[in-house]
Structure 1
Amino acid sequence: METIQQHEGHVQICFDCAAACEHCATACLQEDHVQMMRDCIRLCRDCADICKMCASLTARDSEFMKQFMVLCAEVCDACANECSKHDHDHCRACAEACRHCADDCRRMSASA
Structure 2
Amino acid sequence: MDFGNFKEKIEACHICAAYCDKCATQCLQEEDVQKMAECIRMDIQCAQICRLAASYMAQDSEYAKDICQLCADICQKCADECAKHSADHCQECANACQQCANACASIAA
TM bucket normalised to smaller:
over 0.9
TM-score (norm 1): 0.94
Paired residues for 1:1-16 under 5 Å: 2-16=1-15
Specify the alignment match of 2:35 in structure 1: 36
Q: How does 1:1-112 map to 2 (within 5 A)?
A: 2-110=1-109
User: Alignment partner of 1:90: what SS?
Assistant: helix
Amino acid in the other structure paired with 1:43: M
1:59 Cα shift? 0.3
Distance 2:18 2:74 in 1: 15
TM-score, scaled to structure 2: 0.97
**SS of equivalent residue, structure 1 residue 87:** coil
Computed over aligned residues only, the root mean square deviation of the Cα atoms, in angstroms, reads 0.8
The alpha-carbon deviation at position 6 of structure 1 amounts to 2.4
Q: Which amino acid aligns with 1:65?
A: A
CA shift for structure 1 position 95: 0.3
- Percent of residue pairs identical: 46
Q: Which runs of 4+ in 1 moved over 4 A?
A: none
Structure 2 unmatched ranges of 5 or more: none
CA distance in 2, matches of 1:6, 1:92: 29
- State how many pairs are aligned: 109
